[in-house]
A and B are shown apart, each in its own frame.
Chain A
Amino acid sequence: MNISKQIAQWRIVAASVCGTSHLRNKQLCQDAHHWQILADNILVAAAADGAGSASLGKVGAMLAVETAIENLSSKGLTRSSLTNDANVRSLLNDALLAAKKAVEQEAVACEKQLADLATTLIIMVATPEVVAVAQIGDGLAVAKDRLGNLLAVTMPDSGEYINETTFLTSPTALDTAQMRLWRTDIVNVGIITDGLQMLALNMVVGEPHKPFFFPLFEFVANAEDKTAAKEQLVKFLRSERIAQRTDDDLTLIIAAFNNS
């Protein structure tokens, strides 16, 4: 019998780790993530993957996630303000624009080309009854509903070739952004960058892989000690089993809404 009644709230664990190929070449981790739990059980989260070819990809990625989250956090969001689809879309669009602008300004300030700060960006707003995601480039966002369905909220947007994608800094970025919204009972949400795509996505059927996400969701739902949970997640991302399959930077954000 569960006698320890929990307060309804989001639990979240997130980590970005450097890929083994970047470690070998003494490069920085080009991935970044950021999140906040706002009032009224609103979770905002973002992940970005700076382009390996961009000299300041890491800066672009960090700036993008921080600006996007700051922008969303400053809006005084309430769950009732998220009941209107058009509102949600314009919120996400604003956050994308703010992130793009911040990266552009940084490029000017550093006297660099915009492409030097190229990065992908995934932004999520989630409450127990809605999940909304804006995404430029690859990586993906998922959600699990109360019935145990795993929803592919967004899918990787890569070009014809696996080593091509769209970036926040591309001229067409905002036009090609994926904008997705689901209204259902949300229990879990997750975001990954492209480094985990081959492990977390079944490419043949084009669906997120349940046996990848579900144990992670269970893990975060039971994660009482935040520091220990983060350590475990980092350890997992650095494990030999993962290193055998991918040498790219990895970001994983997983969250659970505990309402028991």
Chain B
Amino acid sequence: MDFNITQKVMHDTLRLDEVVEFAENPEPRCPCVLLLDTSGSMQGDPIEALNQGLLSLKDELVKNPLAARRVEVAIVTFDSNINVVQDFVTADQFNPPILTAQGLTTMGAGIHKALDLIQERKSQYRTNGIAYYRPWVFMITDGEPQGELDHVVEQAAQRLQGDEASKRVAFFTVGVENANMTRLNQIAVRTPLKLKGLNFIEMFVWLSASMSAVSHSQVDEQVALPPIGWGTV
């Protein structure tokens, strides 16, 4: 038999996509902590609107298959206590909680908790060989720090500013209704946004679109976030 002919036939029938195997790697993760004010002033319409908004966040994220597997959501609430209502889960596993509102506004302790969660999550990613994007914290409040010592808030603000400067986190602040925007501006690095009315649904749709854009982004892309229709500076 002529060897060259045999080889030629083999070559023609060899399909690369049938023989090349891919490494099974965990999906890269795009972590986002929702840091939510559940103090007494959020009672009634605000907390209901926020709960509706969380449902729409889930709905929007799962519409995008890549975002559903890559975006990880955690929820920390702050009132008189700090609660991790939801530890990090990928969007497809996320069951939005129904939040209730009562008590004071221990925002400083909340910020610390959110930054702690991110630090721990990153170390888990590294241990497990999971690549990740820059984490986001999305803080929503209708007030200002209340019910904790000044230096706790001051420390939280300093830590947040340091983490933002060293790109450890991107921290966004959204003020609702009577939020003290001046005070929030002193705490955060990025200019806080004022939510129009109780338009949480539109805000979470935007957040979903933004996280989806980030979770698709390639090397060193400056991700252009969608225009904000739900708030004002």
A binds B: yes
Contacts of A199 in B (CB 8 A): 22-23
A14 to chain B: closest CB distance in Å?
14
**B residues apposed to A, CB below 8 Å:** 3-4, 7-8, 10-12, 14-17, 19-23, 25-26, 28, 128-134, 167, 214, 216-223
Complex contacts, A236 vs chain B, CB 8 Å: 15-17, 20
Across chains A and B, the number of contacting residue pairs, with CB separation under 8 Å, is 121
Interface positions of A (Cβ within 8 A of B): 1-4, 19, 21, 49, 51-53, 118, 120, 137-138, 158, 160-165, 167, 194-195, 198-206, 209, 211-212, 215-216, 219, 222-224, 228, 232-233, 235-236, 239-242, 245, 247-248
Task: Write the chain B residue with the least CB distance to A137.
Answer: B219
Contact of A198 among B10, B11, B25, B222 (CB under 8 A): B25
Q: Are B20 and A222 in contact (CB under 8 A)?
A: no
Whether A163 pairs with B220 at a CB distance below 8 angstroms is yes
- Contact (A215, B220) CB under 8 Å given A2-B3, A161-B134: no
Cβ–Cβ contact A215 & B219, under 8 A: no
Which residues of A lie under 8 Å from residue B128 when comparing CB positions? Answer: 204
Known A-B contacts A2-B3, A162-B132; A209 and B218 likewise in contact (beta carbons under 8 Å): no
Provide the bound-state CA to CA distance between A200 and B26, in Å. 13
Say which residue of A3, A21, A165, A201 sits within 8 Å of B220 (CB atoms): A165
For B16, B130, B218, the residue with the greatest tally of chain A CB atoms inside 10 Å of its CB is B218
Instruction: Determine chain B's interface SS by DSSP, over half rule.
Output: loop
CB contact under 8 A between A51 and B221, given known A162-B131, A216-B16, A219-B14: yes
> What residue in chain B is nearest A167 (Cβ atoms)?
B220
Q: Are A215 and B217 in contact (CB under 8 A)?
A: no
Q: Smallest CB–CB gap between B129 and chain A, Å?
A: 4
A222 to B10 CA separation, bound complex (whole angstroms): 9
Contact assessment for B221 and A198 in the assembled complex, using a CB-CB cutoff below 8 Å: no
Residue of B nearest to A49 (CB): B219
